[in-house]
Chain A
């Protein structure tokens, strides 16, 4: 090969990957490493960072705002897995083999068109104190007509998870439908002939066959919910009084509002470690289950 005048695969082959590597290295990996370093410093963004060891991480442990933020993030994770993912699965199972199923799913798909910021605009006027939600409760003669949905933690986080559910259910349902339509028909038919139906059929035949897809959908939702930022920022900016902050919002506020760049980096590192750990543990349990079945 080397002796040929022009080798089959050409010369300067590294030139093909280098632009991609350059972009990713300079704009993603280098900042990543630098943030990791900054988490060990005292840094206000103006003067140069001063090495401070693990001081920021110590402060992290005693920061009440971080504790609230961690609790809210956990609520986001649990809420996301129960509501958009869980209800999405329900809608998918109910509609996947119904005639006109796509039409039944349309109402759930519409909200997906709104971005996080658009979502905030729609829901803030529904959820404010004399907003539409309270008007509706009052008109129906139901209690709670003066609820301040976004005023107190952790209720405001739960209200926002509901808003998120309104937007995300459709996509999750769609992903599950694709999965349901692609599972083999033979085992389902066989089980039907054996007399399985309804819940039994779902629990013992359909659910196990959907496993690979469920793993992906749940995994994506898990990682996304840990990084929740947009909807909180637009609806409450993490307030009132930091009561609805998530880790993503806390990082932003500590850094760019409180100008504590060192501590902000520490929160970012913490968020990254939590996300990485959660993904790892989740994937491990999934792989274990696969092995157990094999």
Chain B
């Protein structure tokens, strides 16, 4: 009985996915709402992707988005790991409050920072600039990363640090050569989460960029969406949606083993 309910509900859930795939493979000119359910028998997806590529200028956007979603989380991870190391291992005075200050950033809604960012970015020539996007995505990624890294370092035995110290290593060197490599699994897990977050961001891209080469790909996609009403063929829009979703899917599949055992966020 339980299987039957699950199977029926699952089939209902697959219908839109089916429609997406079938119509993304349809030649752009052959879309007819009355026949949307029937596969066209064509493999026009590649042509659709190419057309979407030109229409929404996905190429430049994809490159920039890849830059944002890899560089920003990477910088954020190092910054956050440094903070976690300072607080947990080096026992900075008032460490808990420093941590609360950093982690508190997660509760600020994006809407509360948009206006000052827009105005100041325009003043500082960071508006519609790749550097500006990298900076803000880094800042947004820091609090969660700091939370995880702090937890992670709490689980690392302090004797490791002491032993390395006795051997004469500097605190910074211990960080780079022992603590950072030790936390590979946690770093990878946060990287994936933050990559996905930056890749899927719409609001910051919408507010802080304009030109098609700087604009993140989700913002470009949402612009293509408005064009759908203006007559851009539906198969092209769907093909673009598929392509743009691909990197996050591939990343998740490639790292499934990491997440399969539960997020390695807590213990060393």
> Which residues on B sit within 8 Å (CB–CB) of A272?
108-109, 111-112
Within 8 A of A (CB), among B70-94: 76, 79-80, 82-83, 85-87, 90-92
Which bucket holds chain B's interface residue count?
A: 35 or more
> Which residues on B sit within 8 Å (CB–CB) of A17?
82-83, 86-87, 92, 95, 98, 102
- Contacting residue for B17 out of A111, A252, A276, CB 8 A: A111
> Which residues on B sit within 8 Å (CB–CB) of A115?
199-200, 202, 218, 221, 244-245, 248
- Contacting residue for B202 out of A15, A107, A132, A234, CB 8 A: A234
Do A233 and B222 touch (CB < 8 A)?
yes
- Contacting residue for B139 out of A24, A98, A108, A268, CB 8 A: A24
Query: Given A116-B202, A120-B222, A24 and B6 touching (CB < 8 A)?
Result: no
Asked if A94 lies at the interface with its beta carbon under 8 angstroms from chain B, I say yes
Distance in Å: Cβ of A73 to nearest Cβ of chain B: 12
> Which residues on A sit within 8 Å (CB–CB) of B14?
107, 110
Do B105 and A28 touch (CB < 8 A)?
yes
Interface string of B92-128 (1 = CB under 8 A from A): 1001001001101101111111111111100000000
Distance in Å: Cβ of B225 to nearest Cβ of chain A: 5
Query: Given A24-B143, A28-B140, A126-B16, A117 and B221 touching (CB < 8 A)?
Result: yes
> Which residues on A sit within 8 Å (CB–CB) of B91?
9
- Contacting residue for B90 out of A9, A19, A45, A110, CB 8 A: A9
Q: Which of A31-39, A187-195, A206-214, A286-294 participates in binding chain B?
A: A31-39
Query: Given A118-B241, A122-B241, A35 and B113 touching (CB < 8 A)?
Result: yes
Do A113 and B237 touch (CB < 8 A)?
no
Q: Secondary structure of the A side of the interface? A: helix
> Which residues on B sit within 8 Å (CB–CB) of A62?
none
Query: Given A17-B92, A118-B241, A264 and B82 touching (CB < 8 A)?
Result: no
Do A16 and B113 touch (CB < 8 A)?
no
Do B6 and A94 touch (CB < 8 A)?
yes
A13 to B171, alpha carbons, bound, how many Å?
Answer: 9
Within 8 A of A (CB), among B230-249: 234, 237-238, 240-242, 244-245, 248-249
> Which residues on B sit within 8 Å (CB–CB) of A113?
245, 248-249, 252
A113 to B262, alpha carbons, bound, how many Å?
Answer: 19
> Which residues on B sit within 8 Å (CB–CB) of A104?
3, 6-7, 10
> Which residues on B sit within 8 Å (CB–CB) of A130?
33
Do A28 and B113 touch (CB < 8 A)?
yes
A256 to B208, alpha carbons, bound, how many Å?
Answer: 11
A82 to B30, alpha carbons, bound, how many Å?
Answer: 39
Do A20 and B111 touch (CB < 8 A)?
no
The 5 A-B residue pairs with the shortest CB-CB distance, nearest first, are: A16-B86, A10-B171, A27-B139, A31-B116, A31-B113
20 contacts between A and B (CB under 8 A): A10-B90, A14-B92, A16-B87, A23-B79, A24-B102, A27-B113, A27-B139, A35-B115, A35-B116, A91-B6, A107-B14, A110-B14, A113-B245, A115-B199, A115-B202, A126-B19, A229-B202, A237-B226, A252-B207, A267-B111
Besides the known contacts A21-B102, A122-B241, A261-B115, 5 further A-B residue pairs in the complex with CB atoms under 8 A apart: A9-B90, A17-B87, A117-B222, A132-B19, A252-B207
